[in-house]
């Protein structure tokens, strides 16, 4: 059980920044799409 918990924690720590980067990228893309002249 402890090994599984460690694996889940490692997975979250690895994918968390990727999700955050994706959300920032999506927000930037939607902002550019709304204001193409900016």
Which tokens go with 17? 């920044």
Question: Considering the chain, what is the average pLDDT of its residues?
Answer: 87
Position 38 confidence tier, pLDDT thresholds 50, 70, 90: low
Position 31 confidence tier, pLDDT thresholds 50, 70, 90: confident
9 burial level (CB within 10 Å; 0-12, 13-18, 19+): exposed
- How many whole angstroms separate alpha carbon 33 and alpha carbon 27? 10
37: left (phi over 0), alpha (psi -120 to 50) or beta: alpha
Which alpha helices (DSSP H) does the chain contain, by range?
2-34
* pTM (two decimals): 0.50
């Amino acid at each position: 059980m402890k090994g599984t918990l460690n694996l889940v924690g490692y997975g979250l720590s690895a994918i968390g920044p990727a999700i955050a980067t994706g959300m920032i990228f999506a927000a930037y893309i939607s902002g550019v799409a709304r204001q193409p002249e900016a």
